[in-house]
């Protein structure tokens, strides 16, 4: 039985047919039924427009929507600039606060603060009635490319930034599932959102979040309120980003996402886990070419610092080939779980027996990590739950340091289930063959959680290609 701390509440409902997925929408498919002479002329106009030079439109609080949208004659609202913009254009915002509830359906559009200035886009936490407008910024399902740069995004009944997919079409057999893709958030602050700060939905691929700050999610509802929630968007990159003060998980990958990279981030003060590779998901979100129902495929979590996570520092649940390298976990799992937590889950797959499939992680690799717990934390350093791993677990070249009176303990219930005794570090090495090159020692971290010059961790790691 899985811990109540691991799973989000699910409601019973009938099974829906699983859709066919495409990596990107076929624009001809989106235009089907429009093969009139007029529509062909409009499509030709789109092609000519794509060759036009990119335009910068300027918006300012003291502007006027009847203006030309230039630096000298700025628009007053982002919506007016969106009406004027074409693929490849830029909307630059002057200092000030702007109304959110923005729906973007333009490819390769950049929205940014004017260089040297700072713009805030905000929405209320109350619902407006149209669920599609209840995020501060929402990308339409067929958008390809775009950037949000040097902006502050706050509020929203649901999310700060939402990457939408074509899931609201229908659930019939053969329906097509696509999402907003190829979009970069660079230097943005997303905070004080209703639920998740950033939401990535199935088919919203190649989302990149860099040099940003995400905090204070869950202002309206703390249930499943995460910093960055990726539910089956492939090739997500989160890098050099500070995620903190969220009631749920800091950075989450689930739903069968492939090839996501989470690196060089600082994650602090999360009510749930700091970073999760794989998580409980539902069948309808997974792609048909994922027969083992993995929640994450080939996720890489490396060179992150996680501090004061209420649950696991890093959790690995139902992930295939998870690669967990060179992370520093400090005071994780104060409330539940362990700093390094492995778990499986039951996924409902059919109304007829067998109704559920058990999903475990396959061939996870956890090396070169530092795990430090505070004196009041008597949890294990590594907790491998029952039936949570298949294949080969590589667990080595880590450093553990805990000052609890219970000592430095570990547990592997993968094959033996509940009742399996905890292991000391020596027993862990002898009985299981884990962590044969690992250390139990004070890593001597500085105030910035980096190693001091005489740390025993220096030179103790194994060299990894690309790091």
At 283 the pLDDT is 80
At 375 the pLDDT is 86
Average pLDDT over residues 372-380: 90
Contacts (Cβ under 8 Å, ≥6 apart) of 35: none
Q: What is the mean pLDDT of the chain?
A: 87
CB atoms within 10 A of CB 224: 17
Quick check: is 34 in a domain?
no
Give the span between the Cα atoms of 120 and 190, in whole angstroms: 10
Higher per-residue confidence, 20 vs 394: 394
Contacts (Cβ under 8 Å, ≥6 apart) of 172: 17
Average pLDDT over residues 209-217: 99
Quick check: is 230 in a domain?
yes
Quick check: is 184 in a domain?
yes
Percent of the chain with pLDDT over 70: 85
- Total of domains in the chain: 1
Indicate the pTM of the whole model: 0.87
Which of the four pLDDT bands, split at 50, 70 and 90, describes residue 357?
confident
Quick check: is 303 in a domain?
yes
Average pLDDT over residues 172-192: 83
At 350 the pLDDT is 80
Q: Is 224 left (phi over 0), alpha (psi -120 to 50) or beta?
A: left
At 176 the pLDDT is 56
Q: Which string of b and e fits 19-43 if b means at least 16 CB within 10 Å?
A: bebeeebeeeeeeeeeeeeeeeeee
Give the span between the Cα atoms of 380 and 6, in whole angstroms: 17
Least confidently predicted of 16-25, 123-132, 342-351: 16-25
Half-sphere exposure of 263 toward its Cβ, with a 13 Å CA cutoff?
15
What DSSP string describes 28-45? HHHTTT--SHHHHHHHHH
Quick check: is 208 in a domain?
yes
At 168 the pLDDT is 46
At 407 the pLDDT is 83
Percent of the chain with pLDDT over 90: 70
Average pLDDT over residues 439-454: 92
User: How confident is the model over 303-316, as pLDDT tens digits?
Assistant: 999 999 999 999 99
Give the span between the Cα atoms of 107 and 103, in whole angstroms: 12
Average pLDDT over residues 162-170: 68
Question: Helices (DSSP H) in 287-424: which residue ranges?
Answer: none
357, burial (CB in 10 Å: exposed 0-12, middle 13-18, buried 19+): middle
CATH number of the domain at 387, please: 2.160.20.10
At 346 the pLDDT is 86
* 84, containing H or E segment: helix 78-84
Q: Give the C-alpha distances (Å, rounded to integers) separating 320 from 71, 207, 258, 324, 339.
A: 51, 21, 9, 12, 20
Q: Which domain holds residue 360?
A: 90-440
320, burial (CB in 10 Å: exposed 0-12, middle 13-18, buried 19+): buried
At 280 the pLDDT is 82
Average pLDDT over residues 354-381: 93
At 45 the pLDDT is 54
User: How confident is the model over 98-153, as pLDDT tens digits?
Assistant: 999 999 999 999 999 999 999 999 999 987 665 546 899 999 988 999 999 999 99
Q: Give the C-alpha distances (Å, rounded to integers) separating 56 from 51, 68, 102, 121, 322.
A: 15, 11, 18, 19, 42
Give the span between the Cα atoms of 164 and 209, in whole angstroms: 16
Structure tokens at 341: 């937590």
Quick check: is 452 in a domain?
no
Contacts (Cβ under 8 Å, ≥6 apart) of 440: 399, 400, 401, 408, 425
pLDDT at 174 over 90: no
Which of the four pLDDT bands, split at 50, 70 and 90, describes residue 365?
very high
At 418 the pLDDT is 87
Quick check: is 77 in a domain?
no
pLDDT at 37 over 70: no
At 51 the pLDDT is 55
Higher per-residue confidence, 255 vs 1: 255
pLDDT at 184 over 70: yes
Q: Is 232 left (phi over 0), alpha (psi -120 to 50) or beta?
A: left
pLDDT at 347 over 50: yes
Quick check: is 180 in a domain?
yes
CB atoms within 10 A of CB 168: 10
What DSSP string describes 185-208? EES-EEES-SS-SEEE-TT----E
Tell how far CA 389 is from the center of its chain.
23
* Cα-only R_g, the chain: 24
Pairing mode, strands 389-390 and 56-59: unpaired
At 441 the pLDDT is 95
């Amino acid at each position: 039985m899985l811990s109540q701390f691991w799973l989000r509440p699910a409601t019973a409902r009938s099974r829906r047919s699983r859709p066919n997925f495409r990596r990107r929408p076929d624009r001809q498919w989106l235009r089907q039924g429009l093969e009139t002479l007029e529509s062909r002329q409009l499509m030709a106009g789109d092609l000519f427009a794509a060759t036009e030079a990119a335009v910068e439109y300027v918006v300012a609080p003291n502007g006027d929507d009847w203006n030309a949208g230039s630096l000298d004659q700025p628009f007053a609202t982002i919506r007016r600039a969106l009406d004027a913009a074409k693929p490849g254009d830029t909307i630059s915002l002057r200092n000030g606060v702007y109304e959110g509830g923005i729906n973007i359906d333009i490819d390769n559009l950049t929205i940014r603060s004017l260089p040297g200035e700072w713009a805030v886009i905000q929405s209320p936490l109350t619902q407006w009635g149209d669920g599609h407008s209840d995020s501060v910024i929402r990308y339409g399902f067929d958008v390809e490319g775009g950037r949000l740069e040097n902006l502050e995004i706050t509020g929203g009944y649901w999310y700060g930034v939402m990457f939408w997919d074509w899931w609201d079409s229908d659930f019939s057999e053969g329906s097509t599932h696509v999402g907003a893709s190829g979009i970069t958030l660079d230097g943005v602050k997303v905070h004080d959102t209703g639920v998740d700060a950033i939401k990535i939905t199935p088919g919203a691929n190649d989302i990149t979040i860099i040099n940003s700050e995400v905090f204070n999610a869950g202002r309206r509802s703390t249930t499943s309120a995460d910093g960055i929630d990726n539910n089956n968007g492939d090739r997500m990159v989160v890098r050099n980003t500070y995620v903190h003060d969220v009631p749920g998980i800091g950075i989450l990958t689930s739903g069968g996402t492939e090839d996501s990279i989470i690196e060089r981030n600082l994650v602090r003060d999360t009510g749930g886990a700091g970073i999760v590779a794989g998580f409980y998901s539902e069948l309808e979100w997974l792609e048909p070419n994922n027969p083992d129902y993995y929640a994450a495929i080939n996720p890489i979590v490396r060179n992150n610092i996680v501090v004061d996570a209420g649950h696991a520092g890093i959790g690995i649940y139902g992930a295939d080939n998870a690669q967990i390298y060179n992370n520093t976990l400090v005071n994780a799992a104060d409330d539940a779980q362990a700093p390094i937590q492995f778990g499986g889950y039951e996924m409902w797959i059919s109304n007829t027996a067998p109704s559920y499939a058990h999903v475990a992680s396959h061939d996870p690799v956890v090396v070169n990590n530092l795990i430090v717990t505070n004196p009041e934390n008597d949890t294990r350093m590594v907790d491998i739950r029952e039936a949570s791993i298949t294949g080969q677990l590589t667990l080595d070249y880590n450093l553990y340091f805990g000052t609890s009176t219970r000592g430095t303990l570990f547990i592997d219930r993968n094959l033996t289930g509940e009742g399996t005794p905890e292991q000391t570090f020596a027993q862990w090495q002898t009985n299981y063959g884990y962590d044969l090159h690992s250390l139990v020692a004070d890593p001597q971290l500085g105030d910035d959680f980096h190693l001091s010059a005489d740390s025993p961790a220096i030179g103790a790691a194994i060299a990894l290609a690309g790091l």
